[in-house]
A = this chain, B = another copy of it.
Amino acid sequence: MSLLVVGTTALDSIKTPHAENPRLLGGSASHAAVAASFFTKPHLIGAVGDDFPRKYINLYRKHGLNLDGLQQLSGQTFHWSGEYELNMNNRRTLDTVLGVIEDFSPTLTAAQTRLPYVLLANCVPDLQANVLDQMHRPRFVVADTMDLWLNIARAPLLKLLPRLDCLVLNDSEASQLAEEDNVVAAIPRIHKLGPRYVIVKKGEHGSILSGPKGLFIAPAYPLRKVVDPTGAGDSFIGGMMGYLASQKGSLENNLRKGIIHGSVTASFCCEDFGLKKTTKIKKKDITKRVRELTKMASW
Protein backbone atom coordinates (compact mmCIF):
# COMPACT_ATOMS: atom_id res chain seq x y z
CA MET A 1 0.00 0.00 0.00
CA SER A 2 1.32 3.43 -0.71
CA LEU A 3 1.29 6.98 0.44
CA LEU A 4 0.43 10.36 -0.98
CA VAL A 5 2.39 13.32 0.39
CA VAL A 6 1.39 16.90 -0.34
CA GLY A 7 3.15 19.97 1.03
CA THR A 8 5.90 22.40 0.16
CA THR A 9 8.87 21.58 -2.05
CA ALA A 10 11.22 24.40 -1.27
CA LEU A 11 14.64 25.93 -1.20
CA ASP A 12 15.85 26.74 2.32
CA SER A 13 18.66 29.13 3.13
CA ILE A 14 19.78 28.42 6.68
CA LYS A 15 22.19 30.56 8.66
CA THR A 16 23.80 29.57 11.96
CA PRO A 17 26.54 31.24 14.00
CA HIS A 18 28.98 28.87 12.28
CA ALA A 19 27.80 28.52 8.69
CA GLU A 20 25.62 29.72 5.85
CA ASN A 21 23.82 27.17 3.72
CA PRO A 22 22.08 28.80 0.77
CA ARG A 23 19.37 27.13 -1.31
CA LEU A 24 19.32 23.70 0.32
CA LEU A 25 16.60 21.24 -0.66
CA GLY A 26 13.81 21.81 1.85
CA GLY A 27 10.07 22.06 2.38
CA SER A 28 7.64 19.92 4.37
CA ALA A 29 6.85 17.52 1.52
CA SER A 30 10.53 17.02 0.60
CA HIS A 31 11.45 16.09 4.17
CA ALA A 32 8.34 13.95 4.69
CA ALA A 33 8.53 12.09 1.38
CA VAL A 34 12.26 11.32 1.67
CA ALA A 35 11.68 10.06 5.27
CA ALA A 36 8.78 7.91 4.07
CA SER A 37 10.86 6.52 1.19
CA PHE A 38 12.80 4.23 3.55
CA PHE A 39 9.58 2.23 4.04
CA THR A 40 7.36 2.72 0.97
CA LYS A 41 7.21 4.44 -2.44
CA PRO A 42 5.55 7.81 -1.75
CA HIS A 43 3.82 9.94 -4.37
CA LEU A 44 4.96 13.55 -4.05
CA ILE A 45 2.44 16.31 -4.81
CA GLY A 46 4.06 19.74 -5.05
CA ALA A 47 5.22 22.58 -7.26
CA VAL A 48 8.66 23.97 -8.02
CA GLY A 49 9.81 26.90 -10.18
CA ASP A 50 12.26 27.13 -13.10
CA ASP A 51 15.05 27.81 -10.59
CA PHE A 52 14.70 24.41 -8.88
CA PRO A 53 18.05 22.61 -9.36
CA ARG A 54 17.99 19.43 -11.39
CA LYS A 55 20.20 17.73 -8.76
CA TYR A 56 17.31 17.94 -6.29
CA ILE A 57 14.97 16.23 -8.76
CA ASN A 58 17.63 13.55 -9.09
CA LEU A 59 17.77 13.24 -5.29
CA TYR A 60 13.98 12.67 -5.19
CA ARG A 61 14.42 10.02 -7.90
CA LYS A 62 17.26 8.35 -6.04
CA HIS A 63 14.84 7.92 -3.13
CA GLY A 64 12.30 6.28 -5.40
CA LEU A 65 9.65 9.01 -5.09
CA ASN A 66 6.85 8.93 -7.62
CA LEU A 67 7.04 12.41 -9.20
CA ASP A 68 3.90 12.29 -11.40
CA GLY A 69 2.42 14.94 -9.10
CA LEU A 70 5.41 17.29 -9.02
CA GLN A 71 4.72 20.27 -11.26
CA GLN A 72 7.46 22.50 -12.62
CA LEU A 73 5.84 25.94 -13.04
CA SER A 74 7.08 29.19 -14.45
CA GLY A 75 8.37 31.39 -11.62
CA GLN A 76 10.35 31.09 -8.42
CA THR A 77 10.45 28.06 -6.12
CA PHE A 78 9.09 28.63 -2.59
CA HIS A 79 12.09 29.97 -0.65
CA TRP A 80 12.48 30.19 3.11
CA SER A 81 15.44 31.92 4.80
CA GLY A 82 16.02 31.51 8.49
CA GLU A 83 18.65 32.04 11.14
CA TYR A 84 19.40 29.91 14.19
CA GLU A 85 21.04 31.20 17.36
CA LEU A 86 23.66 29.19 19.26
CA ASN A 87 20.77 27.58 21.13
CA MET A 88 19.06 25.64 18.33
CA ASN A 89 15.63 26.16 19.91
CA ASN A 90 15.72 29.81 18.87
CA ARG A 91 15.18 30.47 15.20
CA ARG A 92 13.79 33.40 13.27
CA THR A 93 12.52 33.73 9.74
CA LEU A 94 14.52 36.22 7.69
CA ASP A 95 12.49 36.04 4.50
CA THR A 96 9.78 34.00 2.77
CA VAL A 97 9.11 34.02 -0.98
CA LEU A 98 5.97 32.02 -1.80
CA GLY A 99 6.67 31.90 -5.55
CA VAL A 100 4.87 29.20 -7.54
CA ILE A 101 3.30 27.66 -4.41
CA GLU A 102 1.01 30.69 -4.10
CA ASP A 103 -1.38 29.61 -6.86
CA PHE A 104 -0.62 25.89 -6.81
CA SER A 105 -3.81 23.89 -7.22
CA PRO A 106 -3.01 20.29 -8.10
CA THR A 107 -5.28 17.92 -9.99
CA LEU A 108 -4.60 14.35 -8.92
CA THR A 109 -4.49 11.41 -11.32
CA ALA A 110 -7.04 8.62 -10.83
CA ALA A 111 -4.29 6.43 -9.40
CA GLN A 112 -3.28 9.09 -6.88
CA THR A 113 -6.84 9.61 -5.63
CA ARG A 114 -6.96 5.95 -4.62
CA LEU A 115 -3.83 5.91 -2.46
CA PRO A 116 -4.80 4.61 1.01
CA TYR A 117 -2.43 6.70 3.16
CA VAL A 118 -2.56 10.48 2.90
CA LEU A 119 -0.08 12.86 4.49
CA LEU A 120 -1.10 16.50 4.33
CA ALA A 121 2.32 17.82 5.30
CA ASN A 122 2.60 21.32 6.67
CA CYS A 123 1.25 23.87 4.14
CA VAL A 124 -1.66 26.28 3.79
CA PRO A 125 -4.88 24.52 4.97
CA ASP A 126 -6.68 25.36 1.70
CA LEU A 127 -4.16 23.28 -0.25
CA GLN A 128 -4.50 20.44 2.27
CA ALA A 129 -8.31 20.54 1.87
CA ASN A 130 -8.06 20.75 -1.92
CA VAL A 131 -6.05 17.52 -2.07
CA LEU A 132 -8.24 15.76 0.48
CA ASP A 133 -11.35 16.70 -1.56
CA GLN A 134 -9.97 14.63 -4.43
CA MET A 135 -9.11 11.50 -2.43
CA HIS A 136 -11.32 8.44 -2.77
CA ARG A 137 -12.01 6.86 0.66
CA PRO A 138 -8.45 6.94 2.03
CA ARG A 139 -7.62 4.60 4.90
CA PHE A 140 -5.73 7.05 7.10
CA VAL A 141 -5.42 10.82 6.70
CA VAL A 142 -2.89 12.77 8.74
CA ALA A 143 -2.26 16.51 8.66
CA ASP A 144 0.64 18.42 10.11
CA THR A 145 0.32 22.13 10.77
CA MET A 146 2.13 25.07 12.37
CA ASP A 147 1.53 28.25 14.38
CA LEU A 148 1.46 30.38 11.20
CA TRP A 149 -1.82 28.73 10.08
CA LEU A 150 -3.29 29.00 13.57
CA ASN A 151 -2.62 32.72 13.32
CA ILE A 152 -3.62 33.55 9.74
CA ALA A 153 -5.83 30.64 8.56
CA ARG A 154 -7.62 29.43 11.68
CA ALA A 155 -11.05 29.08 10.03
CA PRO A 156 -9.99 26.81 7.13
CA LEU A 157 -7.83 24.80 9.56
CA LEU A 158 -10.78 24.27 11.93
CA LYS A 159 -12.91 23.22 8.94
CA LEU A 160 -10.29 20.63 7.96
CA LEU A 161 -9.97 19.02 11.42
CA PRO A 162 -13.16 16.88 11.40
CA ARG A 163 -12.04 15.35 8.08
CA LEU A 164 -8.74 14.06 9.52
CA ASP A 165 -7.96 10.80 11.25
CA CYS A 166 -4.97 12.40 12.94
CA LEU A 167 -3.67 15.91 13.58
CA VAL A 168 0.02 16.48 14.31
CA LEU A 169 1.32 19.65 15.94
CA ASN A 170 3.93 20.72 18.45
CA ASP A 171 3.32 21.40 22.14
CA SER A 172 3.07 25.18 21.95
CA GLU A 173 0.73 24.90 18.95
CA ALA A 174 -1.44 22.39 20.83
CA SER A 175 -1.72 24.87 23.71
CA GLN A 176 -2.55 27.68 21.29
CA LEU A 177 -5.20 25.69 19.43
CA ALA A 178 -6.87 24.41 22.61
CA GLU A 179 -6.33 27.62 24.58
CA GLU A 180 -4.92 25.51 27.42
CA ASP A 181 -1.37 25.73 28.78
CA ASN A 182 -1.18 22.13 29.99
CA VAL A 183 -0.58 19.93 26.94
CA VAL A 184 -2.17 16.83 28.53
CA ALA A 185 -5.32 18.86 29.17
CA ALA A 186 -5.17 20.42 25.70
CA ILE A 187 -5.36 17.06 23.92
CA PRO A 188 -9.00 16.16 24.75
CA ARG A 189 -10.03 19.63 23.59
CA ILE A 190 -8.32 18.99 20.24
CA HIS A 191 -10.15 15.66 19.88
CA LYS A 192 -13.40 17.62 20.26
CA LEU A 193 -12.41 19.63 17.17
CA GLY A 194 -12.48 16.45 15.10
CA PRO A 195 -9.44 14.17 14.88
CA ARG A 196 -9.66 10.73 16.49
CA TYR A 197 -5.87 10.71 16.91
CA VAL A 198 -3.73 13.62 18.06
CA ILE A 199 0.07 13.61 18.08
CA VAL A 200 1.86 16.33 20.03
CA LYS A 201 5.53 16.75 19.09
CA LYS A 202 7.92 17.83 21.85
CA GLY A 203 11.24 17.88 19.95
CA GLU A 204 14.07 16.36 21.99
CA HIS A 205 11.48 15.32 24.61
CA GLY A 206 9.65 12.96 22.24
CA SER A 207 5.94 13.01 21.49
CA ILE A 208 2.52 12.06 22.83
CA LEU A 209 -0.05 10.12 20.83
CA SER A 210 -3.64 10.23 22.01
CA GLY A 211 -6.28 7.94 20.55
CA PRO A 212 -9.12 5.54 21.34
CA LYS A 213 -6.70 3.33 23.30
CA GLY A 214 -5.40 6.15 25.49
CA LEU A 215 -2.03 7.87 25.53
CA PHE A 216 1.30 6.70 24.17
CA ILE A 217 4.32 8.55 25.58
CA ALA A 218 7.07 8.20 22.96
CA PRO A 219 10.72 9.05 23.55
CA ALA A 220 13.01 10.81 21.07
CA TYR A 221 16.34 9.28 20.09
CA PRO A 222 18.92 11.14 22.21
CA LEU A 223 21.41 13.20 20.20
CA ARG A 224 24.67 14.66 21.48
CA LYS A 225 24.71 17.27 18.76
CA VAL A 226 21.91 18.96 16.85
CA VAL A 227 23.21 20.70 13.73
CA ASP A 228 19.92 21.84 12.15
CA PRO A 229 16.44 20.83 13.33
CA THR A 230 14.71 22.26 10.21
CA GLY A 231 12.42 19.58 8.80
CA ALA A 232 12.64 17.26 11.82
CA GLY A 233 8.87 17.42 12.40
CA ASP A 234 8.23 16.70 8.71
CA SER A 235 10.68 13.77 8.77
CA PHE A 236 8.99 12.45 11.90
CA ILE A 237 5.54 12.31 10.37
CA GLY A 238 6.87 11.15 7.00
CA GLY A 239 8.75 8.28 8.62
CA MET A 240 5.66 7.35 10.61
CA MET A 241 3.35 7.36 7.58
CA GLY A 242 5.88 5.48 5.43
CA TYR A 243 6.13 2.82 8.13
CA LEU A 244 2.33 2.54 8.45
CA ALA A 245 1.90 2.24 4.67
CA SER A 246 4.43 -0.62 4.66
CA GLN A 247 2.79 -2.69 7.42
CA LYS A 248 0.00 -5.24 7.38
CA GLY A 249 -2.42 -5.68 10.25
CA SER A 250 -4.43 -3.27 12.34
CA LEU A 251 -3.47 0.38 12.19
CA GLU A 252 -4.00 0.73 15.92
CA ASN A 253 -1.34 -1.92 16.52
CA ASN A 254 1.16 -0.39 14.11
CA LEU A 255 0.76 3.23 15.18
CA ARG A 256 3.09 3.14 18.20
CA LYS A 257 5.87 1.48 16.23
CA GLY A 258 5.23 3.95 13.42
CA ILE A 259 5.84 6.84 15.81
CA ILE A 260 9.11 5.28 17.00
CA HIS A 261 10.28 4.80 13.41
CA GLY A 262 9.30 8.40 12.60
CA SER A 263 11.09 9.68 15.66
CA VAL A 264 14.29 7.87 14.74
CA THR A 265 14.13 9.03 11.11
CA ALA A 266 13.81 12.61 12.42
CA SER A 267 16.92 12.14 14.57
CA PHE A 268 19.05 11.77 11.43
CA CYS A 269 17.47 14.90 9.93
CA CYS A 270 18.83 16.96 12.87
CA GLU A 271 22.41 15.80 12.39
CA ASP A 272 23.19 17.92 9.34
CA PHE A 273 21.73 20.82 7.36
CA GLY A 274 18.55 20.33 5.37
CA LEU A 275 18.29 16.82 3.95
CA LYS A 276 22.07 16.25 3.78
CA LYS A 277 22.17 13.48 6.38
CA THR A 278 18.76 11.93 5.68
CA THR A 279 19.68 11.43 2.02
CA LYS A 280 22.89 9.62 3.03
CA ILE A 281 21.49 6.96 5.37
CA LYS A 282 20.11 3.49 4.62
CA LYS A 283 17.10 1.75 6.10
CA LYS A 284 19.42 -0.40 8.22
CA ASP A 285 20.64 2.76 10.00
CA ILE A 286 17.06 3.49 11.04
CA THR A 287 16.50 -0.10 12.12
CA LYS A 288 19.64 0.01 14.27
CA ARG A 289 18.56 3.18 16.09
CA VAL A 290 15.03 1.81 16.59
CA ARG A 291 16.60 -1.22 18.29
CA GLU A 292 18.80 1.03 20.45
CA LEU A 293 15.89 3.29 21.41
CA THR A 294 13.74 0.28 22.30
CA LYS A 295 16.48 -0.89 24.66
CA MET A 296 16.88 2.61 26.11
CA ALA A 297 13.19 2.97 26.90
CA SER A 298 12.36 -0.45 28.39
CA TRP A 299 12.11 -1.38 32.05
Q: Quick check: A219 and B222 within 8 Å, CB to CB? A: no
Shortest Cβ gap from A297 to chain B (Å): 5
Stretch at the interface among A35-43, A181-189, A274-282: A181-189
Copies of this chain, whole number: 2
* Contacting residues, chain B, for A225 (C-beta < 8 A): 182, 185
If A205-B206, A217-B296 are given as contacts, then 12 extra A-B residue pairs at C-beta distance below 8 Å, sorted by A number, are: A86-B181, A184-B223, A185-B224, A205-B205, A206-B217, A206-B219, A214-B295, A215-B296, A216-B297, A218-B297, A219-B297, A294-B299
Q: Quick check: B299 and A224 within 8 Å, CB to CB? A: no
**Residue A124 at the chain B interface, CB threshold 8 Å:** no
**Residue A260 at the chain B interface, CB threshold 8 Å:** yes
**Cα separation A293 to B298 with both chains bound (whole Å):** 12
Kindly supply a per-residue 1/0 record for chain A positions 242-277, scoring 1 wherever the CB is within 8 Å of any chain B CB and 0 otherwise. Answer: 000000000000001101100000000000000000
**Cα separation A259 to B86 with both chains bound (whole Å):** 32
A-to-B contact residues, CB < 8 Å: 86-87, 181-182, 184-185, 202, 205-206, 208, 214-220, 222-226, 256-257, 259-260, 293-299
**Cα separation A219 to B208 with both chains bound (whole Å):** 11
A-B contact pairs, 18 of them (CB 8 A): A87-B181, A182-B223, A182-B226, A184-B224, A185-B224, A205-B205, A206-B217, A206-B219, A208-B222, A215-B222, A216-B297, A217-B220, A217-B293, A217-B297, A256-B298, A256-B299, A257-B299, A294-B299
Q: A226-B182, A296-B215 are in contact. Are A205 and B208 (CB under 8 A)?
A: no
**Cα separation A257 to B298 with both chains bound (whole Å):** 9
Shortest Cβ gap from A172 to chain B (Å): 12
* Contacting residues, chain B, for A223 (C-beta < 8 A): 182, 184
Closest 10 CB pairs of A and B: A256-B299, A205-B205, A217-B219, A185-B224, A184-B222, A184-B224, A217-B297, A215-B296, A217-B296, A257-B299
* Contacting residues, chain B, for A259 (C-beta < 8 A): 299
* Contacting residues, chain B, for A206 (C-beta < 8 A): 205, 217, 219
Q: Quick check: A224 and B257 within 8 Å, CB to CB? A: no
Smallest CB-CB separation from A293: which chain B residue? B217
**Cα separation A86 to B175 with both chains bound (whole Å):** 14
Shortest Cβ gap from A106 to chain B (Å): 35
Q: A208-B222, A219-B219, A222-B208 are in contact. Are A214 and B184 (CB under 8 A)?
A: no
* Contacting residues, chain B, for A214 (C-beta < 8 A): 295-296
Q: A87-B181, A205-B202, A217-B219 are in contact. Are A260 and B299 (CB under 8 A)?
A: yes
**Cα separation A216 to B223 with both chains bound (whole Å):** 14
Q: Quick check: A217 and B222 within 8 Å, CB to CB? A: yes
* Contacting residues, chain B, for A260 (C-beta < 8 A): 299
Shortest Cβ gap from A207 to chain B (Å): 11
**Cα separation A271 to B181 with both chains bound (whole Å):** 16
